């Protein structure tokens, strides 16, 4: 393994810790803040590994988290934010095959749309009022990212999404299960 790959994996492991812990937050702001740190570090991780769409989508994920942390000031619940982020994700997907040079095979077209679906799911979750809904949207986002990470061969991200799925289920049992 090259030194840059080792550094990328270390950064990915740190990012993983933030993402896993995020689903244990009781408050929406806590969940989103921890995911902000995770997304920022995963953006660096994916870029170092050459996984362009994963890196750029995580940069957009960090921006999205900032918007939703300051949702009252920025009026994040306006439909215009949802449209703007959705358009950004789709644009990145298109750029991946045009500007960034990813080959547009059937396999790549399907695999590369999965993190876009994951980003859309969490974008919707962030618009909702409580952390329980974020966890529910995480049940769409996390498997989509997991499949993408397997196809991309990103072991740190694979482990992260596996633990994230377990963390979501534990968070649901701890906080969302009706008494």
Would the pLDDT of 23 be above 90?
Answer: no
Give me the half-sphere count of Cα atoms (radius 13 Å) on the Cβ side of residue 41: 22
Return left, alpha or beta for 153; rule: phi > 0 is left, psi -120 to 50 is alpha, else beta.
left
Question: pLDDT tens-digit profile of 98-113?
Answer: 999 999 999 999 999 9
Question: pLDDT tens-digit profile of 126-168?
Answer: 777 788 888 899 899 999 999 999 987 788 899 989 988 988 8
Q: Which residues of 138-163 are buried (b: 16+ CB within 10 A; e: fewer)?
A: bebbbbbbbbbbeebebebbbbbbeb
């Amino acid at each position: 393994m090259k030194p840059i790959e080792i550094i990328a994996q270390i950064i990915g492991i740190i990012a993983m810790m933030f993402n896993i812990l995020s689903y244990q937050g009781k408050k929406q702001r806590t969940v989103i803040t921890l995911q902000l740190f995770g997304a920022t570090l995963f953006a660096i991780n994916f870029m170092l590994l050459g996984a362009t769409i994963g890196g750029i989508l995580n940069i957009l994920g960090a921006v999205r988290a900032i918007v939703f942390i300051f949702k009252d000031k920025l009026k994040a619940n306006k439909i215009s934010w949802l449209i703007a982020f959705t358009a950004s994700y789709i644009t990145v997907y298109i750029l991946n095959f045009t500007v960034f040079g990813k080959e547009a095979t059937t396999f790549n077209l399907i695999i590369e749309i999965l993190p876009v679906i994951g980003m859309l799911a969490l974008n919707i979750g962030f618009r909702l009022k409580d952390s329980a809904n974020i966890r529910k949207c995480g049940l769409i986002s996390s498997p989509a990212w997991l499949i993408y990470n397997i196809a991309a061969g990103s072991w740190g991200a694979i482990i992260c999404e596996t633990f994230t799925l377990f963390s979501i289920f534990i968070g649901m049992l701890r906080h969302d299960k009706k008494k």
